[in-house]
Chains A and B, each alone.
Chain A
């Protein structure tokens, strides 16, 4: 772990947070019949898969889960070198009249979610769109809020939040450390 970095959530705490979100989703959507989970690459995708499994365990029903890449809808494409695209996988059955729950690792400026909403509009017409995030670190730049939050983490702009997941990084953790130059790849902490 680099100097000045500390773990805010460990693997067990991430699990507990996700389990709680799974229950909240079921509660808010009255059983989750119409729910489709869409993870935003890169780390939102394994989180959406985990939520789908947790919901399945509680309610004994499969929940469609997929991924939604927002690269082509970003508002900062011109100010950075060209980005590689992530995967978009819409579960069979589509999004029309579904309750789409967008899943991402960190909610920061809100710009990723804005792009995701635009992308959704081109893919279908969900009945409702909700947002689930593992960490809300504040500093919104757009009028956007999350419906389900794993952990509210008040941060300063001089800090960075890093989410590590078993599927992508080999272990589970949420780290808080000193700011680093904004990465040029998509996903991460916005």
Chain B
């Protein structure tokens, strides 16, 4: 592994190695000294062209816990706002000797392009509506630690699949790890090519819920919507929102996940969001361990 661009590039063994490594590194968060010397003297650049709190802080914390030097580069307040191209920014970072570049960009494929321009490792932290590999990995990690296995697990991914990079990365990764994924969304919020994905598709949330071990709710990404995809938010919420009543019809040990940020009252009710079966905060905590694992595996060897 040199880069982490897509979960589709990971073999089952590689994905399992990442999850196992993350499980070991999770202990570091409970120690008195929450730091390992492993990446001392290495430089990690966080290159964020899109707003993000969770992912950027998570990567920053992960890199710092491994003693790497971290440089945060956001589009606002850098030469990017003066019109510099991605390639020139990449060459600048290259010249500064970045060992790893974490990139978030609104254009799908930006991380792939970057990987051709720099010598260091490139970690895709979300490119447009394409992929978000570390999110999918931390989701899989959370499922495995909550439910004890991934093989044969039935996972429903519900909501705005069309604009979701989390959905695509999850389908690719979970299929590799032996889980069965069902996408649930109104037809307007599914990508045209969804029949080529390795998963099932349903328009009926109530039919899928009782047969799911994991229900992953996605946010409706209004900022990427330039036309109307459903009549009203109320109708969307009634058909595809998860409330306490729907939660009670899920299997007893099934869990509810959400990559964040949640919009309470839209795709998830406050009652469900605050229930112990909802793993949102756990996902955030696991995100740090998982990103430490990825940084370790990509940057530490020769």
Interface residues of A (CB under 8 A from B): 69, 72-73, 77-88, 118, 121-124
Contact = CB atoms under 8 A, between A and B. Distances in A.
A122 B35 contact: yes
B282 interface: no
B301 A118 contact: no
30 contacts: A69-B24, A72-B36, A72-B38, A72-B66, A72-B296, A73-B36, A73-B37, A77-B38, A77-B300, A78-B300, A78-B302, A79-B302, A80-B301, A81-B302, A82-B296, A82-B301, A83-B300, A84-B17, A84-B21, A85-B20, A85-B21, A85-B25, A87-B24, A88-B24, A118-B37, A122-B32, A122-B33, A123-B32, A123-B33, A124-B32
Contact of B27 (A84, A88, A118): A88
Given A72-B38, A72-B296, A122-B35, A81 B301 contact: yes
B226 interface: no
Interface string B30-56: 011101111000000000000000000
A87 B32 CA distance: 18
B300 to A, nearest CB: 5
B297 interface: yes
A85 B18 CA distance: 10
A73 to B, nearest CB: 6
A80 B31 contact: no
A106 to B, nearest CB: 23
Contacts of A124: 32
Interface string B12-32: 000001001100110100011
Nearest to A94: B32
A77 B300 CA distance: 6
Q: How many of chain B's residues touch chain A, expressed as a range?
A: 10 to 19
A88 B25 CA distance: 10
B16 to A, nearest CB: 10
A122 B300 contact: no
Given A85-B21, A88-B27, A122 B302 contact: no
Interface of B: 17, 20-21, 24-25, 27, 31-33, 35-38, 66, 296-297, 300-302
Contacts of B27: 88
Contacts of A122: 31-33, 35-36
A91 B244 CA distance: 41
B25 A82 contact: no
Contacts of B31: 122-123
A49 to B, nearest CB: 19
Given A72-B38, A73-B36, A123-B32, A82 B300 contact: yes
Contacts of B32: 122-124
Nearest to B30: A90
Nearest to B298: A82
Nearest to B301: A82
Given A81-B301, A86-B24, A122-B31, 13 more contacts: A72-B36, A72-B37, A72-B66, A82-B296, A82-B300, A84-B17, A84-B21, A85-B24, A85-B25, A87-B24, A88-B27, A121-B33, A122-B33
A46 to B, nearest CB: 19
Contacts of A85: 20-21, 24-25
Nearest to A123: B31
B62 to A, nearest CB: 13
Closest 8 CB pairs of A and B: A82-B301, A122-B33, A85-B24, A72-B38, A72-B36, A81-B301, A77-B300, A82-B297
Contacts of A72: 36-38, 66, 296
A171 B71 CA distance: 51
Contacts of A83: 300-301
Contacts of A84: 17, 20-21
Contacts of B302: 78-81
Contacts of A79: 302
Contacts of A77: 38, 300-301
A181 to B, nearest CB: 15
A75 B38 CA distance: 9
Nearest to A75: B37
Contacts of B21: 84-85
Given A122-B36, A123-B31, A78 B301 contact: yes
B288 to A, nearest CB: 15
Nearest to A76: B302
A88 B66 CA distance: 17
B142 to A, nearest CB: 19
A88 B31 CA distance: 12
